[in-house]
């Protein structure tokens, strides 16, 4: 099998691998599981913060590992760490045991986050088909969202019987994903600099990646915007489990609602490129922002339609996942791609460290409805600030690239 056939095979493997990766049986029940195990909402928020603090500490180093030692190596190591995390979730009974399990889960996600995405994009780039990325990533997002929907449905049904069954099945799926990861083929990437010492390699990789972000401020603010949107969507998705439970929905019904959310997410992801073609990036960002604000306000003030507003937030999730990925990938060089994509995940973790436990504390003190409203009010000025910054740097980026040169002059327009 020649190199081109191997790289094409990466795309097919990615469909299988990402389906298994997102077939996370516990994704719609872990808040309920920790509550069942005796954790308060504040403790649950702190445990989730442990996850994201780990993400902040390990995200960039794991991105560098992927760029220097291979995306395939990083993805495989991530699955091994993920399996250990699943086992700890099964055997733990207290705050610290769950915290360690979440920390390992974060490390596993770190190892996969930039590497898995970069592996697909770099394979297409070597084949001269990077223009197909948005369509392929939309299809991947569609498959991943379907997997998430199936996972939450199965997880909710199993949890109504016994939480343990859901976590055991989750560990088995992680093992199958590990087997799939072994079938990836590493895309050949030319390095600009060869430094013998690993420490110097890592430092050089980080320094040059920061240089890319300094030149391309649009990428930096796209990453911050993406992280803000993702953190809000994640907070709404996970805390809604307890919110719906408090208004007397069964675990199975909550799973059905979350499965419907994943289906809407999947459809939005698949057709996101068509919306972006009509609205362009700026219009898409404004649309995503308005959907998020409307969803949060609806959850805050129209309780009888809470499920509808929860599902509306899934539209925004699907659109942003596909479109942000394409715009960020198209603006960074391949040899620094995983590091910069890991910075994207790091920013997401930084937002989650503050947003998630804050929301948990607010929900415990004043109730979920008021907490949703407060988060919406805080979100508006931050979103406006990032939109203004993106507009400000649309022309500066082009001038910097022309002045410095030599760094991947792919699409940079901000229509």
78, part of any domain: yes
Token pair belonging to 219:
């990428």
Evaluate whether 152 touches 262 at the Cβ level (below 8 Å). Answer: yes
Q: Distance between CA 245 and CA 233 in Å, rounded?
A: 19
168, part of any domain: yes
Q: Please give the tally of structural domains in the chain.
A: 1
334, part of any domain: yes
Domain carrying residue 390: 3-185+196-404
**pLDDT tens for each residue of 219-230:** 788 888 888 888
Angle between helices 95-126 and 306-329 (to 10 degrees): 50
Exposed/middle/buried for 331, CB within 10 Å: 0-12, 13-18, 19+?
buried
Q: What is the mean pLDDT of residues 103-109?
A: 90
**pLDDT tens for each residue of 116-148:** 777 787 888 888 877 777 778 778 877 887 887
Evaluate whether 303 touches 382 at the Cβ level (below 8 Å). Answer: no
- What is the Cα gyration radius of the chain? 21
For the domain that residue 236 is a member of, what is the CATH number? 1.20.1250.20
Q: How many residues are recorded in the chain?
A: 415
Evaluate whether 4 touches 117 at the Cβ level (below 8 Å). Answer: no
The pLDDT score that the predictor gives to residue 209 is 65
413, part of any domain: no
Give the Cα-Cα-Cα angle 237, 353, 108 (nearest 5 degrees).
80
Average pLDDT for the chain: 79
pTM (two decimals): 0.65
**pLDDT tens for each residue of 292-351:** 889 889 988 888 888 999 998 888 777 776 777 777 777 776 666 666 776 777 788 788
99, part of any domain: yes
Q: Distance between CA 117 and CA 95 in Å, rounded?
A: 33
37, part of any domain: yes
Q: What is the mean pLDDT of residues 40-50?
A: 86
Evaluate whether 374 touches 232 at the Cβ level (below 8 Å). Answer: no
Cα of 230 vs its chain's centroid, Å: 7
In SS3 terms, the chain reads as CCHHHHHHHHHHHHHHHHHHHHCCCCCCCHHHHHHHCCCCHHHHHHHHHHHHHHHHHHHHHHHHHHHHHCHHHHHHHHHHHHHHHHHHHHHCCCHHHHHHHHHHHHHHHHHHHHHHHHHHHHHHHHCCCHHHHHHHHHHHHHHHHHHHHHHHHHHHHHHHHCHHHHHHHHHHHHHHHHHHHCCCCCCCCCCCCCCCCHHHHHHHHHHHHHHHHHHCHHHHHHHHHHHHHHHHHHHHHHHHHHHHHHCCCCHHHHHHHHHHHHHHHHHHHHCHHHHHHHHHHHHHHHHHHHHHHHHHHHHHHCHHHHHHHHHHHHHHHHHHHHHHHHHHHCCCCHHHHHHHHHHHHHHHHHHHHHHHHHHHHHHHHHCHHHHHHHHHHHHHHHHHHHHHHHHHCHHHHHHHHHHHCCCCCCCCCCC
Q: Distance between CA 392 and CA 221 in Å, rounded?
A: 10
Portion of the chain with pLDDT greater than 70, in percent: 84
415, part of any domain: no
Portion of the chain with pLDDT greater than 90, in percent: 10
Distance, first Cα to last Cα, the chain:
42
Q: Would you tell me how many other CB atoms lie within 10 Å of the CB of residue 60?
A: 22
pLDDT band at 97 (very low <50, low <70, confident <90, very high): very high
* Among the ranges given (3-12, 73-82, 273-282, 399-408), the one the predictor scored with the smallest mean pLDDT: 399-408
39, part of any domain: yes
**pLDDT tens for each residue of 206-259:** 676 677 677 777 778 888 888 888 888 888 888 887 888 888 787 778 878 888
**pLDDT tens for each residue of 52-74:** 888 778 766 776 777 777 888 88
Angle between helices 3-22 and 133-161 (to 10 degrees): 30
pLDDT band at 413 (very low <50, low <70, confident <90, very high): very low
Q: Distance between CA 401 and CA 412 in Å, rounded?
A: 10
The pLDDT score that the predictor gives to residue 178 is 93
């Amino acid at each position: 099998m020649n190199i081109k056939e191997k790289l094409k095979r990466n795309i097919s493997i990615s469909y299988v691998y990402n389906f298994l990766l997102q077939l996370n049986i516990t994704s719609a029940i872990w808040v309920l599981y920790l509550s069942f195990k005796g954790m308060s909402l504040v403790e649950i928020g702190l445990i989730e913060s442990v996850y994201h603090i780990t993400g902040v500490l390990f995200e960039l180093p794991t991105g560098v590992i992927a760029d220097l030692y291979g995306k395939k190596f990083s993805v495989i190591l991530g699955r091994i760490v993920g399996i250990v995390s699943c086992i700890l979730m099964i055997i733990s009974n207290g705050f610290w045991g769950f915290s360690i399990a979440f920390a390992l889960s974060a490390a596993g996600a770190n190892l996969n986050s930039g590497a898995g995405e970069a592996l697909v994009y770099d394979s297409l780039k070597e084949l001269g088909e990077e223009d197909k990325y948005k369509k392929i990533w939309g299809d991947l997002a569609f498959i991943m969202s379907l997997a998430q929907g199936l996972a939450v449905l199965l997880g909710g049904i199993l949890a109504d019987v016994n939480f343990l069954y859901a976590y055991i099945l989750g560990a088995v799926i992680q093992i199958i994903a590990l087997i799939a990861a072994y079938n990836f083929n590493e895309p050949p990437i030319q390095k600009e600099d060869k430094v013998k010492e690993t420490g110097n390699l890592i430092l050089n990789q980080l320094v040059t990646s920061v240089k890319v972000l300094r030149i391309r401020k649009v990428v930096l603010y796209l990453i911050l915007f993406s992280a803000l949107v993702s953190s809000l969507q994640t907070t709404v998705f996970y805390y809604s489990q307890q919110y719906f439970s408090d208004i007397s929905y069964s675990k199975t019904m909550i799973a059905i609602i979350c499965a419907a959310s994943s289906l809407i997410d999947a459809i939005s992801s698949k057709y996101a490129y068509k919306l972006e073609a009509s609205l362009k990036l700026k219009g898409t960002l404004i649309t995503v922002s308005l959907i998020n604000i409307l969803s949060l306000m609806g959850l805050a003030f129209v309780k009888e339609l809470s499920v509808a507003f929860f599902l509306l937030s899934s539209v925004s999730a699907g659109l942003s996942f596909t479109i942000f990925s394409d715009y960020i990938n198209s603006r960074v060089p391949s040899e620094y791609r995983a590091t910069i994509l890991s910075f994207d995940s790091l920013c997401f973790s930084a937002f989650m460290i503050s947003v998630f436990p804050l929301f948990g504390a607010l929900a415990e003190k004043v109730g979920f409805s008021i907490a949703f409203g407060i988060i919406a009010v805080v979100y508006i000025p931050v979103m406006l600030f990032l939109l203004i910054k993106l507009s400000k740097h649309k022309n500066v980026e082009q001038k910097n690239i022309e002045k410095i040169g030599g760094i991947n002059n792919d699409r940079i327009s901000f229509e």
